[in-house]
């Protein structure tokens, strides 16, 4: 990994692996940009829409830095290759356990949803992935929350989640927002949610 060129980046200047990691992903919003890319490639407009509160300047800066550091890659798609999409590199994918650990640690901090709190259905994917892995040791589960559909895979690579339904799901989950929130907050075990439908 190399730091992006241009404006010098701040560094803790500590000879410590945690410090070096924070030099790369410790800026505000960086880990949340990475969270948004776990399910698959995203356009700039997708990222901006699903990161309420971020400014266009900050998003552009974080994307540039993360690309320069080898965490994400950018390529162009479409009939005239005019649309840029961003996706994680293997180094970015390797940060999933970090986000998952933060999700576990932060679960006790959720509390009641505040009036100012934004929420997106796919933000429940990390805690739901853990809940699914507690029920199956291997397989794919399609999750529906409102109009959002994604799927969780439990396998040799641990737990991952991806856009859209699974091609051959072992089960389907249909959750309303209240149930998804309760499972994500650890208040309701998935086994008690009554929404698990095995696919024949």
* Residue-wise pLDDT tens digits, 61-113: 999 999 999 999 999 887 777 789 999 999 999 999 999 999 999 998 988 88
Same domain assignment for residues 160 and 189: yes
Q: What pLDDT was estimated at residue 30?
A: 97
24 lies in a domain? yes
Last residue of a domain, one of 77, 93, 109: 93
Same domain assignment for residues 176 and 100: yes
Q: Which residues does 121 contact at the CB level (< 8 Å), separation at least 6?
A: 145, 146, 147, 148, 150, 177, 180
What is the spatial distance between Cα 49 and Cα 51, in angstroms, rounded to a whole number?
A: 6
Same domain assignment for residues 116 and 84: no
Last residue of a domain, one of 60, 93, 126: 93
For residue 168, the domain's CATH number is: 3.30.1050.10
Q: How many domains does the chain have?
A: 2
pTM of the model: 0.90
Q: What pLDDT was estimated at residue 1?
A: 52
Same domain assignment for residues 187 and 138: yes
For residue 89, the domain's CATH number is: 1.10.10.10
Residues of the chain with pLDDT under 70: 1-9, 194
What is the extent of the structural domain holding 76?
17-93
Same domain assignment for residues 78 and 149: no
Same domain assignment for residues 49 and 35: yes
Q: What pLDDT was estimated at residue 190?
A: 86
| Helix orientation angle between 30-37 and 17-25, rounded to the nearest 10 degrees | 80
Q: What pLDDT was estimated at residue 7?
A: 47
Same domain assignment for residues 189 and 139: yes
Same domain assignment for residues 85 and 137: no
Q: What pLDDT was estimated at residue 3?
A: 46
Q: What pLDDT was estimated at residue 123?
A: 96
Q: What pLDDT was estimated at residue 164?
A: 96
Q: What pLDDT was estimated at residue 194?
A: 67
CB 174 within 8 Å of CB 199:
no
């Amino acid at each position: 990994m190399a730091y992006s060129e241009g404006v010098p980046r701040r560094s803790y200047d500590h000879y410590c692996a945690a410090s070096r990691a924070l030099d790369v992903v410790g800026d505000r919003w960086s880990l949340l940009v990475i969270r948004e890319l776990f399910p698959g490639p995203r356009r700039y407009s997708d990222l901006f829409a699903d990161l309420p509160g971020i400014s266009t300047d900050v998003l552009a800066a974080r994307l540039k830095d993360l690309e320069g550091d080898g965490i994400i890659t950018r390529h162009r798609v479409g009939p005239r290759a005019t649309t840029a999409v961003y996706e994680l590199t293997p180094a970015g994918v390797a940060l999933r356990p970090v986000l998952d650990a933060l999700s576990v640690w932060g679960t006790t901090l959720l509390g009641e949803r505040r009036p100012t709190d934004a929420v997106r259905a796919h933000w429940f994917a990390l805690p739901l992935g853990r809940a699914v892995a507690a029920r199956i040791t291997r397989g794919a589960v399609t999750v529906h929350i409102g109009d959002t559909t994604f799927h969780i895979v439990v396998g040799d690579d641990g737990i991952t989640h991806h856009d859209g339904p699974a091609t051959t799901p072992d089960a389907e989950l249909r959750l309303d927002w209240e149930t998804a929130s309760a499972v994500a907050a650890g208040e309701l075990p998935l086994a008690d949610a009554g929404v698990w439908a095995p696919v024949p």
